[in-house]
Amino acid sequence: MSKRTIMAAGNWKMNKTPGETKEFVNALKGLVAGSNSEVVIGVPSVCIPAATEVAKGSNIKVAAQNVHFEASGAYTGEVSCAMLKELGVEYVIIGHSERREYFGETNEMINKKARAILDAGMLPIICCGETLTQREQGVTAEHVRYQIKIALLGLSADEVSKLVIAYEPIWAIGTGKTATDEQAEEVCAVIRQLLVELYGNDVAEKTRILYGGSVNAGNAKALFSMPNIDGGLVGGASLKLDAFEQIVKHDA
């Protein structure tokens, strides 16, 4: 079993209004109070005030799903780290495959975002993962290593030991086709080995590496018990109270 605290992180994507957020977080608070897992919900930016207000005093932490790396200025439609921090955001998901595919997010941008998030006193959840073609061509490990290596450029050992990496194979996202425990473990172990190479054993032992891609109430326990998997980044199942509760309490 991992010495690291398991994280159950929801990524709501573009779902739920501020009103629905209040209702959901209010109900979730009671369901996950006292859990052994660190509970995080990644909500749309306009739902952040509702989420942090209702989650106050509970063990639920709020994540943003994106941020701009510049401090301020003429970036129409964007949100800065200072804005998120002031609202009580603790984590920011960056480099999600949907943001890479639909919004042109590059590894270099992800690296700049990680720097800005850490400077603002928050922690990034850095996503990586291969397409089905890359898996079939046998380049999964090199692709993921490349993504993470660029994303971490210039970050200190202390910073890397606190941030979170999420391995999300693109072919497993929203498809109901979960990676097997062994497939997920294999790539999370590759990422941990990369951390050993870049930062040494101590850091690599501390950094949490999550698996994401069709995590549900039925498969969370087995996935989270793999030696190099420290929890999950959960899409669809994090929108349902009972499913997310069960994922948080996978060890109960």
Number of residues that bind ligand 13P (CB under 6 A): 14
Residues 192-251 that bind ligand 13P (CB under 6 A): 212-215, 233-237
Which secondary-structure segment (H or E) carries 82? helix 81-86
The reply to whether 95 sits near ligand 13P by the rule CB under 6 A is: no
CA dihedral 147, 87, 43, 135 (to 10 degrees): 10
Q: How far apart are CA 137 and CA 139, in angstroms?
A: 6
DSSP string of 25-59, one letter each residue = HHHHHHHHTT-SSEEEEE--GGGHHHHHHHHTTSS
Piece in contact with ligand 13P (CB under 6 A), picked from 43-51, 76-84, 167-175, 242-250: 167-175
Active site residues: 96, 168
Please name the amino acid found at residue 143. Answer: H
Q: How far apart are CA 248 and CA 193, in angstroms?
A: 27
Residue in the structure block whose two tokens are 């060890």: 251
Per CB under 6 A, 174 contacts ligand 13P: yes
Interface residue with ligand 13P, options 51, 110, 173, 190 (CB under 6 A): 173
Residue whose CB is less far from ligand 13P, 214 or 228:
214
| CB closer to ligand 13P, 82 vs 241 | 241
What whole-number distance in Å separates Cα of residue 169 and Cα of residue 157?
A: 26
Question: In angstroms, what is the minimal distance from the CB of 82 to ligand 13P?
Answer: 25
Q: Which stretch binds ligand 13P (CB under 6 A): 52-60, 73-81, 116-124, 168-176?
A: 168-176
Where do contacts with ligand 13P occur on this chain (CB under 6 A)? 11, 96, 168, 173-174, 212-215, 233-237
